[in-house]
């Protein structure tokens, strides 16, 4: 099969082709929660969540990621029924109104099944198929792509990349055992999930060491506490510029998808980083026809 510059096979998600290595893709976060760490939880306000999804799509989001349970440190787990009550109406309405692939952010197979039936196209599992033994067989059965994340919470620390690789290899083994084609998988190193601040920063510096797995890399640094700590304790809503720096650095080290709260701003960061790192063969793709380039 043909390979992209990143070494990963292109995949179709929700009718859209994702050519890994050609550019950076943006996943917009839609938190249908009441206790999001970033202060953007929308609770049971379906209309607000759908409006946010429409806006994200207009701003350039390639995937909309809908989640109904906070995954912040010390989060309170919600019941299956409550999680479904939060996410299903949003997924159903977004699937009708927005021309963008929808991801369901859950580690519970019953929630994933219901959301995929409601119109989602991708499973984003923060436990990398390891929490619910029914998740990998479900993904294989329904033939959908999945993001598998390494979650360091509750695990002994040895080495940042070594621990990530070891965790991902377990998840990849579960996927293979269930019959999920490798080309339908995206890996996530788990920025902010059980790591000390210095480990998160090291993860960004060494992200390129995961490229030899031959799979697209997703990373979610947006508004996270490491950024707040580095910037002197600024609150989540003031971490835009810090997030922009981490996104650009992640792209430089091989990220294929960035998961973000501030879509419009991060789309600009991605396009600028891509122009430097993945130059368009015919020149600047954003230049208007007949308009000369400015020279400063």
pLDDT band at 182 (very low <50, low <70, confident <90, very high): very high
β-pairing, 11-13 with 16-18? antiparallel
3-class DSSP string for 10-77: CEEECCEEECECCECEEEEEEECCCCCCCCCCCCCCHHHHHHHHHHHHHHCCCEEEEECCCCCCCCCC
> Hey, what are 119's tokens?
């119109």
14: pLDDT strictly greater than 60: yes
Q: Picking from 43-47, 98-102, 188-192, 207-211, which range would have the lowest pLDDT averaged per residue? A: 43-47
Cα–Cα distance for residue pair 257/26, rounded to 1 Å: 6
Q: Do residues 206 and 165 touch, judged by C-beta distance below 8 A?
A: no
DSSP 188: E
Catalytic residues: 224, 259
pLDDT band at 289 (very low <50, low <70, confident <90, very high): very low
Q: Which of 53, 51, 216, 237 is nearest to 145 (CA)?
A: 216
Domains along the chain with CATH numbers:
23-277 (3.20.20.20)
Question: Average model confidence (pLDDT) for the chain?
Answer: 91
Write the pLDDT tens digit of every residue in 168-181. Answer: 999 999 999 999 99
Q: Do residues 261 and 222 touch, judged by C-beta distance below 8 A?
A: yes
Cα–Cα distance for residue pair 233/244, rounded to 1 Å: 17
Cα–Cα distance for residue pair 130/146, rounded to 1 Å: 13
4: pLDDT strictly greater than 90: no
- As a whole-number percent, the residues of the chain with pLDDT over 90 amount to 83
β-pairing, 218-219 with 257-260? parallel
Sign of the CA dihedral running 242, 244, 248, 250: positive
Q: What value does the mean pLDDT take over residues 210-222?
A: 97
pLDDT at 282: 57
Q: How many CB atoms lie within 10 A of CB 235?
A: 10
pLDDT at 227: 98
> Hey, what are 67's tokens?
């989640």
Q: What value does the mean pLDDT take over residues 26-37?
A: 82
264: pLDDT strictly greater than 80: yes
Write the pLDDT tens digit of every residue in 138-147. Answer: 999 999 999 9
Q: Which of 207, 294, 222, 219 is nearest to 254 (CA)?
A: 207
pLDDT at 71: 74
Cα–Cα distance for residue pair 62/131, rounded to 1 Å: 27
Cα–Cα distance for residue pair 117/130, rounded to 1 Å: 22
Q: What value does the mean pLDDT take over residues 181-201?
A: 97
CB within 8 Å of 269: residues ≥ 6 apart: 244, 247, 248, 251
pLDDT at 295: 47
> Hey, what are 168's tokens?
């991902």
């Amino acid at each position: 099969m043909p390979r992209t510059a990143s070494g990963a096979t292109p995949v179709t998600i929700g009718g859209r082709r994702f050519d890994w290595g050609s550019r950076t893709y943006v996943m917009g976060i839609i938190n249908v929660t009441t206790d999001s760490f970033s202060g953007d939880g929308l609770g049971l306000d379906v209309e607000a969540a759908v409006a946010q999804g429409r806006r994200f799509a207009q701003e350039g989001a390639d995937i909309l990621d809908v989640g109904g349970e906070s995954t912040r440190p010390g989060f309170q787990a919600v019941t299956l029924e409550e999680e479904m009550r939060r996410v299903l109406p949003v997924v159903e309405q977004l699937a009708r109104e927005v021309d963008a692939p929808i991801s369901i952010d859950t580690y519970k197979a019953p929630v994933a099944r219901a959301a995929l039936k409601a119109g989602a196209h991708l499973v984003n599992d923060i436990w990398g198929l390891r929490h619910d033994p029914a998740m990998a067989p479900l993904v294989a059965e329904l033939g959908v792509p999945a993001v598998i994340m390494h979650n360091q919470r509750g695990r002994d620390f040895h080495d940042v990349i070594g621990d990530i690789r070891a965790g991902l290899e377990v998840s990849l083994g579960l996927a293979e055992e269930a019959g999920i084609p490798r080309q339908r998988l995206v890996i996530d190193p788990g920025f902010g999930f059980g790591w000390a601040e210095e480990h998160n920063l090291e993860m960004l510096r060494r992200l390129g060491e995961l490229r030899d797995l031959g799979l697209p890399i997703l990373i979610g640094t947006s508004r996270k506490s490491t950024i707040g700590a580095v910037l002197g304790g600024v609150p989540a809503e003031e971490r835009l510029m810090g997030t922009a720096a981490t996104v650009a650095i992640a792209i430089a080290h091989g990220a294929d998808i960035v998961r973000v709260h501030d879509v419009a701003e991060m789309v600009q960061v991605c396009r600028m980083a891509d122009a430097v790192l993945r130059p368009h063969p015919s020149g600047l793709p954003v230049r208007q026809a007949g308009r000369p380039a400015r020279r400063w």
